[in-house]
């Protein structure tokens, strides 16, 4: 492990989550936005409109992850983002580990104008799974299975798959936990949402440039929270 930053109620690790997570002990709840497994090829004449696809491929963010890291021995509840193409494989694996499993969705108000031989890229999914007693909490509105939000690509954050804050806030609204762990922290969107909700946060990110962005964003969220 090369670096640990403690920023208010957040502890951020620069390194490989498969190595670091086992050293941290039990975590309340996990929010996973790992590299998706999907094809970044193609795009035809619209490819130029999707420069983020090249960045995603260059960073290996289309290569998937080892889902055994989503362990009920460590996390009582989890939210796991994934690509449409991963649902068929991931759902039975989560159902075998957790008491209940629900598919929730983020519908983009400004999806890219592409489709080729598939549907438009207007919906992303997260699987919310929990052990008995760690069921979803929140208001009736919080418990909607979907959110409408624009894409993160206009957020100004230099990460090709940054999640918008409203999406991460929606995910956290139902998590039955005082502290959230995000082993694929990226630019720190989960951490920002957690700090704004008054939750503790543990984040792990392997890419030093993304780690620095996360540190800056989370420090700013802590500063704002402390300023009231
Ligand atoms: C889909 S992105 C997360 C984006 C994040 N939710 C955000 O809003 O910025 C996945 C992140 O996981 C990181 N990553 C990939 N493998 C990792 C590993 N073994 N340990 C820690 N981080 C990893 C990548 O560098 C990438 O930033």
Say what the pLDDT of residue 67 is: 98
Atom 5 of ligand 1: nearest residue by CA position: 186
Strands (E) across the chain are located at: 3-7, 10-14, 27-32, 75-82, 100-108, 123-130, 146-149, 179-182, 200-205
> What's the domain range around 94?
3-227
Report angle CA 211, 149, 181 to the nearest 5 degrees.
Answer: 35
Buried-exposed string 163-198: b where 16+ CB fall within 10 A, e elsewhere: bbbebbbbbbbbbbbebbbbbbbbbbbbbbbbbbee
Atom 24 of ligand 1: nearest residue by CA position: 186
The encoded tokens of residue 139 equal: 């208001």
Q: Report the CATH number that the domain containing residue 182 is assigned in CATH.
A: 3.40.50.150
Distance from residue 82's CA to the centre of ligand 1 (Å): 13
Q: pLDDT band for position 202 (50/70/90)?
A: very high
Q: How many helices (H) and strands (E) in the chain?
A: 6, 9
Higher pLDDT, 210 or 114: 210
Distance from residue 140's CA to the centre of ligand 1 (Å): 31
Distance CA 33, CA 24 (A): 19
Number of domains in the chain: 1
Q: Among 16-20, 47-51, 221-225, which stretch is predicted with the lowest mean pLDDT?
A: 47-51
CB 81 within 8 A of CB 125: yes
Atom 13 of ligand 1: nearest residue by CA position: 184
pLDDT in tens, 71-86: 999 999 999 999 999 9
Mean pLDDT of the chain: 93
Q: Which helix (H) or strand (E) holds 210?
A: helix 208-227
Distance CA 41, CA 50 (A): 11
CB 80 within 8 A of CB 101: no
Percent of the chain with pLDDT over 70: 96
Percent of the chain with pLDDT over 90: 81
Nearest-CA neighbor of 146 among 121, 173, 125?
A: 125
CB 37 within 8 A of CB 108: no
Q: Mean of the pLDDT values across residues 12-26?
A: 96
The encoded tokens of residue 166 equal: 């409203």
Mutate to test the pocket of ligand 1, among 13, 31, 35, 59 (most ligand atoms within 8 A of CB): 35
Distance from residue 183's CA to the centre of ligand 1 (Å): 7
């Amino acid at each position: 492990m090369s670096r640990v930053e403690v920023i208010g109620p957040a502890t951020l690790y620069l390194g490989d989550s498969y190595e670091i997570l086992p050293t941290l002990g039990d975590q309340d709840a996990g929010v996973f936005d790992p590299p998706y497994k999907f094809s970044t090829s193609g795009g035809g004449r619209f490819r130029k409109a999707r420069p983020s696809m090249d960045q995603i491929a260059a960073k290996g963010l289309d290569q998937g992850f080892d889902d055994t890291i989503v362990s009920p021995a460590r996390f009582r509840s989890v939210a796991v983002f994934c690509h449409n193409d991963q649902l068929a494989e991931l759902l039975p694996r989560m159902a075998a580990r957790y008491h209940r499993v629900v598919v929730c969705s983020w519908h983009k108000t400004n999806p890219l104008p592409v489709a080729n031989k598939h549907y438009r890229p207007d919906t992303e999914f997260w699987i919310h799974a929990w052990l008995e007693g760690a069921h979803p909490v929140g208001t009736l509105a919080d418990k909607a299975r979907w959110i409408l939000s624009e894409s993160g690509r206009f957020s100004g954050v230099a990460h090709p798959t940054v999640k918008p804050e409203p999406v991460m806030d929606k995910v956290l609204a139902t998590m039955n936990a005082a502290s959230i762990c995000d082993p694929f922290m990226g630019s720190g969107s989960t951490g920002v949402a957690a700090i704004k909700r008054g939750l503790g946060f543990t984040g792990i990110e392997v890419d030093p440039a993304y780690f620095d962005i996360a540190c800056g964003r989370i420090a700013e969220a802590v500063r704002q929270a402390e300023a009231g």
